[in-house]
Structures are given as structure tokens and as C-alpha cells.
Structure 1
Amino acid sequence: MAVENKETIDKRREEIMDACEKLYETMGFQGINIKVISTETSFSRPSIYNYFQTKEEIFLGLLTREYMKWNEDLKNIIGRNSDMDKDSLAEALATSMEERKTLLKISAMNLYEIEENSRAELLVEYKKVFKDSVELFDECLKKHLGVSEEKSTQIRYAFFPYMYGIYPYSYPTDKQISAMDEVKLSHMDTTIYEMTYQFLTLIL
């Protein structure tokens, strides 16, 4: 068997992750497995195991890719020439988060299980990219608002845990809405952008 080069491996991993992401738009995490993913790719089920050992590793790769995309958005915010006030920075960060629906969904619904069932080296790779996100977020605050290290840490420890609740509030299921209506629990239609923006304007 010929040895694949890194470019070929990366391309095939991307195809598998694309298929997983497409399925995740309409299926729950539990219903997705490597056999189902293979039907959306040009690979057989056994072939996928050459690139990922578990479906959780595919999701972890997808999550890593999502954070890498967000990091590019954060770098663009940092790179803006003029300083931004609190409102414009909140708008920019909320806009960047609006594009990361898959990141928010995985983080809210399945992160613990994904991390637990992935190889350590892949988890370390993901944590490195996540660390970059944390540092870039801090840099956004320091550059545009001039906040101190202590204040930046406080904001970060408020915002990153909050991120895990954005998706469920923005995309409640019909069953959840029906149950809330039955017990007369107030709820409102909201979006990822609105939830992110409103929270950031409170804490910045």
C-alpha cells in the first residue's frame, strides 16, 4: 500500500469532517456513526478508520477546525487599525460568533463525550487551538479596550463558559418549547448574535 502524503491525508480528513458536519445539521450525535458518515463520503467504513479511530475523533477534528476559523476572525478584529469602543467590539465579536454555529452546538451538546473518546494526541491538538482562541480573545480586549490582565481574565472566565449555553437557547427544540409553554415558563426567540452581543455589552 502506498504511503499517503500529508496533503492527501488532510484532504481526506476534511472530506470526512465535511460529511459529519452535514449529517449533524439534521441528525443527533447519537444517531451518527462511522457507517452513516461513510455513506456521505467516497470512502468505505473501513477506510475511514485510517484517518479517525472513533466518530468522536471526527467531531473533535471538526471542532478544532471551527476554532481555527474563529481564530482567523479574532485576528481580523485585532488587526483593525482604529480602536473600538465597547459596543463596536461587542458587535464584532458577536458577528464572529454568529458564523460558528457548529462550534457552539458541539460544545453545548457533546464536548465531554468527544474529549473522553478521542486519542490524547488529538485532544492536545484541539487544546492548542482552543488556547489560541483564548489568547486572541484576550488580545482583542487589551488592544481595543485597554483592559488590564486581571480584568481580561475575569471577562474571559465569564464569556467562555457562557458560550456553551448560546446554542441551546438560540435553537430550542419544538419539544422543549412545548414543555416551557405547558408550565408557563417565559422564553423568547433569540439568535447567536443577539445572545453574544447582549452578554458582551454587560460584561465589557
Structure 2
Amino acid sequence: MPKGSAKLTENRKEEIIDACAKLYETMNYNEVTIKEISKETSFSRPSIYNYFESKEEIFLAILTKEYNAWADDLEQLSLVGSRQSINEYADRFAKTVAKRKQLLKIQAMNLYEIEEGSRLERLVEYKQAFFRATSAFEQSLKASLPELSEEKIEHFRYAFFPFMYGIYPYAYPTDKQMAAMDQVGLPYQKSSIYDLCFQFAREFLN
């Protein structure tokens, strides 16, 4: 790690993370390279390796940042109060997930290889952010819908987090996927991230 204050180091890491996230909006995972990331920053390729050992670690840092941001939103959701209907909670909850498009995309497409290509300490940081989000998720349910049993909350958590892996591919199918579905007559109803999450939460919690 290069010399300098902790704040300076953190700012440089954020610049790299933000550059990678920006590229991933228009490129696929394989197209985003350390070389391409360096073009979007003030760093050379060798300099980036002072902060991250691999491209996978940069993507893992994006996920860590996304989960912490989602946890922030879920914690705010807990402060709304307990006088909510299931529909009101489902609406607010779905809005927090709809803001996490980048999280859903990375998680659906490349999570396994990102985890495998990252050092254990970086993976631990990500898992801590994930755990924080799951805890905030449960607390938002307890605070907003106090009538729910612990069993219902647990069932919802174990159902929703696996469900998350399919949200992005369903909300954003590729042109080739759409063409293939058309050819075989497979029906498809266009749904947004919000729609999918709202419907899931409303149906499951009722």
C-alpha cells in the first residue's frame, strides 16, 4: 500500500471503484479491465495494483459499497414507524431494492468468480456488508410490521435473498434472449425491479 494518510488512500480507492462502476454501466464484465479502469482514473495500471490485487477485488468493493448503501436505506425504513400496511411496507421496501441495480447486476452475472478471485480479507469485508444488510432487512420488518412472527420474517428472508439473484436478468433480458423467447413462443411480461420486488413482498407477507 502506498504511503499517505488513510483518508487519501480511501479517496483513491473510491476513485477506482467509481470508475469501474461507471464502465460496467455500458460494458460487460469481461470488457472491464484494469487497463480500461485506469483510463477513467488518474492512475496508471501498476498504480491500481497498489490498492486492489485484481479486477475481481474492485467489483467486490462495488458490491460491498452497494450492500452498505442498501443497509442505510433499510435502517431508514425502520424509522418510518409501525403504522404501515403490508402494501405500504412492500412499496417502501421495493424502492430500496430498485436503487441497487448495480448490486443486482453484478450479483446475478459474476458473483462466484468475483469471490474466487479476491483475497479472503476483501471477501470478509463484503460478507460483513452483506450481513449488515440482512440484519437491517430483518429489523425493517420487525419495526414496520410488528405483527409478523419470527418464523414469517425468517421465511421471507430465506426466500427473498435467493430471489434477488434472478431479479436483474428478468428485469433486463438481452435482445438475444428476447429473440429466442419470441421464436419458441415463450411469454414474457416486462417488469421493473420495483415491480418484481413489490409483488414478491406483498404476496409473501400477506
Q: TM-score with structure 1 length normalisation? A: 0.97
Residue 151 of structure 1 corresponds to 152
1:7-36 alpha-carbon deviations (Å, 9 max, x no partner) = 111111111011101110111101111111
Q: How much does 1:149 deviate?
A: 2.0
Which residue number corresponds to residue 168 of structure 1? 169
Per-residue deviation, residues 143-201 of structure 1 (Å, max 9, x unmatched): 22122222211110000000110000111110100000011100011100001001111
Aligned-partner Cα distance in 2 for 1:144–1:19: 37
> 176-185 or 147-156, which moves further after superposition?
147-156
CA distance in 2, matches of 1:61, 1:33: 15
Q: Displacement of 1:5 after TM fit?
A: 1.3
- How many Å apart are 1:82 and its aligned residue? 4.5
User: How far apart, CA to CA, are the structure 2 residues paired with 1:198 and 1:80?
Assistant: 21
5 Å-filtered alignment, 1:1-204, equals 3-146=3-146, 147-204=148-205
* Separation in 1, partners of 2:115, 2:150: 29
Give the 3-state SS of the residue equivalent to 1:187 in structure 2.
coil
Structure 1 residue runs of 5 or longer lacking an equivalent are none
Alignment coverage as a number of residue pairs: 204
Distance 1:84 1:11 in 2: 40
Distance change >3 Å, CA 150–CA 2, structure 1 → 2: closer
Secondary structure (helix, strand or coil) at the match of 1:8 reads helix
Segment of structure 1 superposing worse, 45-54 or 25-34 = 25-34
Question: Residues 11, 92 of structure 1: CA spacing in aligned structure 2 closer, same or farther, 3 A cutoff?
Answer: same
- In structure 2, list runs of 5 or more residues that go unmatched: none
Q: Contact 1:23–1:37 at 8 Å: present in 2 too?
A: yes
The letter for the 1-side match of 2:126 is Y
- Matched residue type, 2:152: K
Poorly superposed stretches of 4+, deviation over 4 Å? none
Letter matched to residue 197 of structure 2: T
| 1:2 shift after superposition | 6.8
Separation in structure 1 between the aligned mates of residue 78 and residue 145 of structure 2, nearest angstrom: 11
The sequence identity of aligned pairs, in percent, is 53
> Following the alignment from structure 1 to structure 2, what is the Cα–Cα distance between the partners of residues 31 and 54?
14
- Measured in 2, the distance between the counterparts of 1:113 and 1:83 equals 43
CA distance in 1, matches of 2:121, 2:167: 28
Query: Does the Cα contact within 8 Å between 2:66 and 2:103 map onto a contact in 1?
Result: yes
On the 8 A contact 1:83/1:143 being kept in 2, the answer is no
Cα 1:47–1:183 change in 2 (3 A) is same
CA offsets per residue over residues 108-131 of structure 1, 9 Å max, x none? 001111011100001001101100
